[in-house]
Amino acid sequence: MGRFIVDGGAHLKGEVKINGAKNAALAIIPATLLSKKPCVISNLPNISDVDLSFQILKTMGAKIEKQDEHSVMIDTSTVHKTEVPFELAMKMRASYYYLGALLARFKEANVAMPGGCNFGVRPINLHLKGFESLGANYEIDGGIIRLRTTNLTGAKIYFDVVSVGATINILLAATTADGVTIIENAAKEPHIVDLANFLNSIGANIIGAGTNIIKIKGVKELNSSDYTIIPDQIEAGSYMAMAAVTRGDVLIKDVTPKHLESIVNKMESIGLKIKKYDSSLHILSDGDLEKADVTSQAYPGFPTDMQPQITAVLTFAKGTSIVTEGIWDNRFQYVGELCRMGAAITVDGKVAVVEGGKILKAAPVEACDLRAGAALIVAALGAKGQTEIKNTRYIERGYEDIVGKLTALGASIKKV
């Protein structure tokens, strides 16, 4: 189990390049199953969740050839299994995308109930309801979800809760179904659009991705393509948070500023000066940070995956901030670790009250999930002294070379 040792107090200065979006990659890799022709996927982040998704495809018989550091050629024509092994599915939430992808390709899928970060109950009822509407049956047997269909047929599917995962799974399953599928109250996150763009690039007929109504006209066969994944807006937002608490002066490169609007607005409201360019953002934190109220929401709202990082920033801001978690039931588990460093935060259900302006002091702390880990790095960079962060494997699930990138910006961080 790795640990990060972070000496707080350095001002971050310089440039940082943002990698491809984790959550787009984790949808697009299984989507390659829909075509029997090889696809080249570029701008893939080098993170452990992507490696895990490759392992899943390989155990099913796919050929994966590295083209360069961030590109692979995936050939799924050789896939012959319809089962994702339990031990792999358990390690990652996004393993459930193999349900939709395998169902589309083989009319059956066998995937263990997914694992992943634990923010309370993470049901998949909407995914299953969507598959049923398309004509599949399922049973859960020994912890394995078994989906079967004789034929998938387009349908109108309404989600009463906006779900990224369910929208993605239905996009995957409906792409080659007979007829037209309409998803109402679909998620609008940039990675939904990215998946739809990838599927369209191999011959799918999907319109409306990025709005709350997506129309999918089923096609018979899909082709190959050479596709580049969008930048990761949460990685970019995390570096903004790190710049915020270190009086940083950082150019965040290779981003899509449109995807970052809610994060940029919030960071500006707490006092960061942000210059926007076509594919980069210049962040300057040269004054006191101000309090802010934040509610996480589905896109285009403030992302839940930035909630822990902004909470860590607000511990350094003047005044009392209120942070409301609008998506997950239990995403404040990291707060105890921030308090161990001297933060004054109280949590009542889905609301945290952050009494800012405290001087955080280094302490041994433990990451309990990916974004909680990022929040602890934010806190450690702004704290006095040397912080030890345990469970780096969570952080490495979603941030490529975070030690190298922060070191290049002048931070003192090492992995032991």
Binding site for ligand EPU (CB under 6 A): 22-23, 26, 93-94, 117, 122-127, 161, 163-166, 187, 304-305, 327-328, 370-371, 398
Cβ 234 vs Cβ 273: under 8 Å: no
Token pair 């990025």: residue? 210
Structure tokens at 408: 């290049």
Smallest gap, in angstroms, from Cβ of residue 30 to ligand EPU? 11
Strand order of the sheet with strand 249-253? Answer: 13-17, 249-253, 280-284, 273-276
CB of 1 or CB of 121, closer to ligand EPU: 121
Structure tokens at 18: 């943002």
Smallest gap, in angstroms, from Cβ of residue 36 to ligand EPU? 25
Cβ 262 vs Cβ 292: under 8 Å: no
CB of 74 or CB of 166, closer to ligand EPU: 166
Q: Which sequence positions are flagged as catalytic?
A: 117
Give me the residue whose beta carbon is nearest to ligand EPU.
165
Smallest gap, in angstroms, from Cβ of residue 232 to ligand EPU? 9
Of 252, 199, 189, 257, which is closest to residue 227 (Cα–Cα)?
199
Cβ 44 vs Cβ 70: under 8 Å: yes
SS3 55: helix
- Distance between the two ends of the chain, CA-based, in angstroms? 9
Give the type of residue at 386: Q
Residue 229 is given by DSSP the state P
Of 173, 106, 99, 174, which is closest to residue 138 (Cα–Cα)?
99
CB of 239 or CB of 328, closer to ligand EPU: 328
Smallest gap, in angstroms, from Cβ of residue 125 to ligand EPU? 5
- Given the DSSP bridges, would you call strands 13-17 and 249-253 parallel, antiparallel or unpaired? parallel
Smallest gap, in angstroms, from Cβ of residue 93 to ligand EPU? 5
CB of 25 or CB of 317, closer to ligand EPU: 25
Task: Give the Cα-Cα-Cα angle 133, 27, 219 (nearest 5 degrees).
Answer: 55
Cβ contacts of residue 210 below 8 Å, gap of 6+?
A: 188, 190, 192, 193, 196
Smallest gap, in angstroms, from Cβ of residue 194 to ligand EPU? 11
For residue 167, the surrounding DSSP H or E stretch is helix 164-174
249-264 burial, b at 16+ Cβ within 10 Å, e below that, comes to bbbbbbbbbebbebbb
CB of 10 or CB of 298, closer to ligand EPU: 298
Smallest gap, in angstroms, from Cβ of residue 344 to ligand EPU? 25
The C-alpha atoms of residue 233 and residue 250 are separated, in whole angstroms, by 16
CB of 57 or CB of 317, closer to ligand EPU: 57
CB of 42 or CB of 297, closer to ligand EPU: 297
